[in-house]
């Protein structure tokens, strides 16, 4: 397969997905969870169907703040009430009113996160992702110095591609951006760079064997085709494991597992795509330009 022949098509597809997804997310608003923004969340199984508007009015009468009332996945009886930070006394009043209206409800859970904690979490998350990307850049630059520093640059661009695809996914499907988002991002960085290193390593080996008359594009295409089976098998086996977790999360209504496994599934596919179609295409374009300049 000639992967480089349609390199501009692969790059265009990625740009369309990223730009449209992030634009939609910015226009309609990203859903930042209380982990980042701070706030109070009360969750409970009411054991019977309920009206969101009625609960919103009830909560507003108690705290005089507009809450976000959502039916949690897994049934119509589970409710999540999110507000700005409120006192423990106000939270108890809301729970008391819920018990009066829904006497069979389960024991609720309450989370209260101060805005200062959310700010620290945002800063720590940005630092964690940035450090991981920088270490990746340094590692690839040292490991594949025979391919030139452009190999490290394109590997980093491929990782940024995966981060932006995940961000687009969160913007389109309105998944909550919380600590699970950071875990997904770091997991995808590790998975994607591992795949990229395999292909770069094969390109380096093949470059040692070729003659001066061998075309650079042929070397890259041969390297991708030689490692393609391994890439597909690794992706399928990893996706199988993640899919099992995702199915389990939906069957047993495990919200945290849903927020982790669903975007991780998209990220794994994006990681394989960026390795095969984006990183190698960009490296070829940069290296080809450098060769022309040298001539």
Under the banding of pLDDT at 50, 70 and 90, the label for residue 11 is very high
pLDDT at 216: 84
- Give the model confidence (pLDDT) of 143-157 as tens digits: 888 888 888 899 999
Same domain, 257 and 187: yes
pTM: 0.81
- CB 3, CB 285: distance < 8 Å: no
Residue bearing tokens 């909560």? 59
Distance separating alpha carbons of residues 86 and 68, to the nearest angstrom: 14
Highest mean pLDDT among 124-128, 235-239, 288-292 belongs to 235-239
Contact between 279 and 202 (Cβ < 8 Å): no
| In the predicted structure, residue 171 carries a pLDDT above the cut 70 | yes
237 vs 33: CA distance, rounded Å: 31
Average pLDDT of the residues in 178-199: 87
Tell which wins on pLDDT, 166 or 123.
166
pLDDT class for 8, splitting at 50, 70, 90? very high
13 falls in which pLDDT band (50, 70, 90)?
Answer: very high
Name the domain count of the chain.
2
Domain shared by 164 and 257, yes or no: yes
Q: How far is 162 from 234, CA to CA, in rounded Å?
A: 17
**pLDDT for 232-279, tens place per residue?**
999 999 999 999 998 988 887 777 788 889 999 999 999 999 999 999
Looking at the structure, tell me whether residues 173 and 273 fall in a common domain.
yes
Do 260 and 244 reside in the same domain of the chain?
yes
Amino acid 210: pLDDT:
66
Provide φ and ψ at 19, rounded to 5°. -65, -45
| Paired strand residues for 43 | 80, 109
Looking at 112, 140, 162, which one is the last position of a domain?
112
Going from the C-alpha of 188 to that of each of 12, 73, 158, 162, the distances in angstroms are 22, 25, 11, 7
**Do 99 and 216 sit in the same domain of this protein?**
no
Range of the domain at 269: 4-33+116-294
Most confident segment among 15-19, 56-60, 229-233: 15-19
């Amino acid at each position: 397969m000639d992967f480089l022949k349609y390199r501009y098509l692969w790059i265009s597809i990625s740009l369309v997905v990223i730009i449209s997804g992030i634009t939609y997310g910015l226009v309609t608003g990203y859903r930042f969870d209380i982990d980042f923004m701070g706030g109070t969340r009360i969750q409970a199984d009411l054991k019977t169907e309920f009206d969101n508007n009625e609960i919103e009015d009830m909560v507003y009468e108690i705290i005089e703040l507009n809450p976000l009332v959502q039916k949690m996945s897994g049934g119509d009886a589970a409710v999540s009430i999110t507000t700005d930070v409120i006192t423990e006394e106000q939270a108890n009043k809301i729970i008391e009113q819920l018990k009066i209206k829904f006497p069979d409800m389960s024991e609720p859970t309450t989370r209260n996160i101060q805005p200062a904690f959310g700010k620290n979490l945002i800063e720590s998350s940005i630092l964690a992702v940035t450090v991981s990307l920088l270490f990746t850049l340094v590692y690839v630059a040292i490991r594949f110095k025979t391919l030139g520093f452009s190999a490290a640059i394109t590997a980093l661009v491929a990782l940024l591609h995966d981060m932006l695809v995940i961000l687009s996914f969160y913007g389109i499907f309105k998944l909550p951006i919380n600590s699970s988002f950071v875990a997904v991002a770091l997991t995808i960085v590790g998975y994607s760079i591992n795949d990229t290193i395999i292909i770069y390593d094969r390109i380096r080996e093949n470059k040692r064997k070729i003659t001066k008359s061998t075309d650079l594009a042929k070397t890259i295409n041969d390297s991708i085709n030689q490692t393609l089976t391994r890439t597909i098998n690794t992706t399928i086996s990893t996706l199988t494991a993640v899919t099992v977790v995702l199915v389990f999360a939906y069957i047993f209504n495990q919200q945290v597992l849903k927020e982790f496994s669903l975007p991780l599934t998209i990220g794994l596919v994006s990681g394989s795509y960026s390795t095969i179609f984006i990183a190698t295409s960009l490296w070829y374009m940069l290296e080809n330009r450098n060769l022309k300049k040298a001539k």
